[in-house]
Amino acid sequence: MNEYPKLNFPAIRLQAQRREGQTLVWDSLRGRFLVLTPEEWVRRHVIAYLCSCCGVEPLSVVQEYPVPLNGTSQRADVVVVDKEGKPAILVECKACDVKIDSDVYAQAVRYNSVVRARYLILTNGITHFCFEYSDGEYRRMQQFPQL
């Protein structure tokens, strides 16, 4: 896994294996191996960070959360649900070489118009932006939300 860059998250340990020329990592939340893409590298790190530093319970993390949008089936990368099962955090992950810009923000806001999470996190593993939705607008936060 040396080809993956160091991220702006604490280092994590991944259970990995090579199969048919691809690196696979074990996803304990879904109970299966996944292809380790650049975006998956970021997702593994942000989930670990949310669980170890932000008070998120691992069982409250939903990956590839379905978002029906304008007649199409989209998927949010990560949604954290609260104790009542309602979305609390929506996370949009991008590969390290993808800039977190207004297009990424607009995508997350579109998804959240359906999901209705209180917090948005946009990350490429290097740059992170966190927002809180309150009183009909998104306000930038200086740190990750604590649950």
Domain range enclosing 95 = 16-141
Q: Residue 43 belongs to a domain with what CATH number?
A: 3.90.1570.30
Q: Say how many C-beta atoms besides its own lie within 10 A of residue 51's C-beta.
A: 17
Arithmetic mean of pLDDT, 16-40: 92
Residue 130 lies in a domain: yes
Residue 62 lies in a domain: yes
Residue 2 has pLDDT above 80, yes or no: no
Residue 21 lies in a domain: yes
- Continuous H helices in the chain: 38-53, 102-115
For 33-58, the pLDDT digits (tens) are: 999 999 999 999 999 999 999 999 99
Residue 5 lies in a domain: no
Arithmetic mean of pLDDT, 120-137: 97
Domain total for the chain?
Answer: 1
For 75-95, the pLDDT digits (tens) are: 999 999 999 999 999 999 999
* Structure letter (DSSP) for residue 60: G
Residue 102 lies in a domain: yes
